[in-house]
């Protein structure tokens, strides 16, 4: 693994990471991405527990694949099938998983920022697998790794993030990572889906996707998070698709534009199938790189734990 000075017990978000730490994770992930069947021993004999209170296909499966490739035992709970459904707090749930022997807790839950206050109360390493609308750090890391591998660099790239920015933890984590590494980020969508003050994170704002795509190197397409929208924020999905969906017509003239999407894709709304499955799409490479990034994160946290003899 590449040398990096990693001094954190947990990975809760990217906002507080330095550019050196982010690059260090990407560098550590690169050999795993080069050799997708590679294995390691960083988690040999260690227990990784998953506690998810929101659905997941990609994050859950790739974290689990990463942990197993590094030699861990894994156990998983969905909050709905756990004693959280009987009123147990998140902290109590995690403390009990720790008591079972888990040294790594991978958590997805719906409350933005709920993990930070818990981390210092746990000996286990806490990994944020998505907290409400706040952060999804490993998703952004795999997005940036995919960009770096496809474009050869991050510094100076122009990246458009289009969609439901208001409710997107993926957008926030991407803005933190991309701006830290010197990319120029534009967020695009209808005004009701762009949070006030997003410019303070270093992103430009556009409400015109055709204008935003002019000169862009990559577009990260986000879905409408209807499960988080408690009122009508768009006129209709067909209207949204016409204004902000990526279609072959809209893609014409952008032959070098890389298409990213964190998934799940709502085909025909934010992304036409011809674009999702076409030669400019890196969507499944993102998923594959997710295993590499999560192996790198586990390895770095394991190195911290070894140094601190936990
Ligand atoms: N990108 C992402 O978080 O996908 P899942 O919800 O399937 O994990």
The string of DSSP codes covering 193-262 is: GS-TTGGGGT-EEES-HHHHHTT-SEEEE----GGG-SS--SS-HHHHHHHH-B-HHHHTT-TT-EEE--
- Which residue is associated with the tokens 């879905």? 223
How many Cβ atoms from other residues are within 10 Å of residue 261's Cβ? 24
Range of the domain at 171: 137-286
Ligand 1: which atom is nearest the Cα of residue 130?
Answer: 3
Domain assignment present for 2:
no
Q: Are 108 and 81 in contact (CB under 8 A)?
A: no
Residue 201 lies inside a defined structural domain of this protein: yes
Residues 218 and 88: their CA atoms lie apart, in Å, by: 43
Both 195 and 63 in a single domain?
no
Q: Do 116 and 149 lie in a common domain?
A: no
Residue minimizing CA distance to atom 5 of ligand 1: 56
Q: What is the model's pLDDT at position 235?
A: 85
The answer on 250 and 122 residing in a single domain is: no
Length of the chain: 310
Residue 55 CA, ligand 1 centroid: distance in Å: 8
Are 182 and 281 part of one and the same domain? yes
Judge whether 291 and 66 are in contact, CB under 8 Å: yes
The residues, any chain, with a CB within 8 Å of residue 113's CB and separated by 6 or more, are 131, 132, 134
Residue nearest to atom 3 of ligand 1 (CA): 59
Q: How many Cα neighbours within 13 Å face the side chain of 235?
A: 9
CA distance 203 to 196: 12
pLDDT (tens, 9 = 90+) of the chain, 310 residues, equals 546 779 999 999 999 999 999 999 999 999 999 999 999 999 999 999 999 999 999 999 999 999 999 999 999 988 888 999 999 999 999 999 999 999 999 999 999 999 999 999 999 999 999 999 999 999 999 999 999 999 999 999 999 999 999 999 999 999 999 999 999 999 999 999 999 999 999 999 999 999 999 999 999 999 988 788 777 888 899 999 999 999 999 999 999 999 999 999 999 999 999 999 999 999 999 999 999 999 999 999 999 999 997 6
- Give domain status of residue 10, yes or no: no
Within a 10 A sphere around the Cβ of 222, how many other Cβ atoms? 25
Give the mutation target among 263, 265, 271, 291 for probing the ligand 1 site: most ligand atoms within 8 A of CB: 263
Do 203 and 265 fall within a single domain?
yes
The answer to whether residue 5 is domain-embedded is: no
Quick check: 213 and 155 in contact, CB under 8 A?
no
Give the pLDDT of residue 233.
83
User: How open is the CA angle 69-72-73, to the nearest 5 degrees?
Assistant: 125
What is the structure's pLDDT at 196?
A: 95
What's the CATH number where 217 sits?
Answer: 3.40.50.1370
Please tell me whether residues 119 and 144 are part of one structural domain.
no
- Domains contained in the chain, number: 2
Domain match, 275 and 300 both: no
Q: Which residues line ligand 1 (CB under 6 A)?
A: 56-60, 130, 139, 262-264
Q: Using CA atoms, how far apart are residues 87 and 264, in angstroms rounded to an integer?
A: 30
Considering the domain boundaries, does residue 8 fall inside one?
Answer: no
Determine, yes or no, domain membership for 1. Answer: no
- Same-domain pairing of 276 and 295: no
User: Could you tell me the CA-to-CA distances from 15 to 129, 161, 185 in Å, in that order?
Assistant: 15, 17, 15
Rounded distance from Cα 301 to ligand 1 centre (Å) = 22
């Amino acid at each position: 693994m590449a040398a990096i000075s990693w001094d954190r017990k947990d990975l809760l978000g990217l906002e507080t990471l330095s550019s050196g730490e982010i690059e260090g994770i990407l560098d550590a992930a690169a050999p795993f991405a080069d050799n997708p069947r590679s294995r390691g021993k960083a988690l040999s004999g260690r227990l990784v527990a998953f506690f998810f209170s929101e659905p997941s296909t990609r994050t859950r499966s790739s974290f689990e694949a990463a942990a197993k490739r590094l030699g861990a035992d894994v156990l998983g709970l969905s909050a709905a099938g756990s004693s959280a459904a009987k009123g147990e707090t998140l902290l109590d749930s995690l403390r009990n998983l720790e008591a079972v022997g888990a040294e790594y807790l991978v958590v997805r839950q719906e409350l933005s920022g709920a993990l930070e206050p818990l981390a210092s109360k746990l000996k286990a390493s806490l990994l944020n697998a998505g907290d409400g609308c706040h952060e999804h750090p490993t998703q952004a890391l795999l997005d940036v790794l995919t960009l770096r591998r496809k474009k050869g660099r991050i510094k100076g790239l122009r990246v458009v993030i289009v969609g439901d920015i208001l409710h997107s933890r993926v957008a926030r984590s991407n803005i933190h990572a991309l701006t830290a590494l010197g990319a120029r980020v534009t967020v695009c969508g209808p005004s009701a889906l762009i949070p006030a003050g997003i410019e303070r994170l270093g992103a430009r704002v556009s409400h015109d996707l055709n204008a935003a795509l002019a000169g862009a190197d990559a577009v990260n397409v986000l879905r409408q998070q209807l499960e988080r929208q408690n009122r009508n924020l768009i006129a209709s999905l067909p209207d949204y698709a016409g204004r902000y969906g990526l279609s072959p017509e809209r893609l014409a003239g952008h032959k070098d534009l890389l298409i990213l999407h964190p998934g799940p894709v709502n085909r025909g709304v934010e992304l036409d199938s011809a674009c999702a499955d076409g030669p400019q799409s890196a969507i499944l490479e993102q998923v594959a790189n997710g295993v590499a990034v999560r192996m790198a994160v586990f390895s770095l946290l394991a190195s911290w734990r070894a140094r601190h003899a936990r």
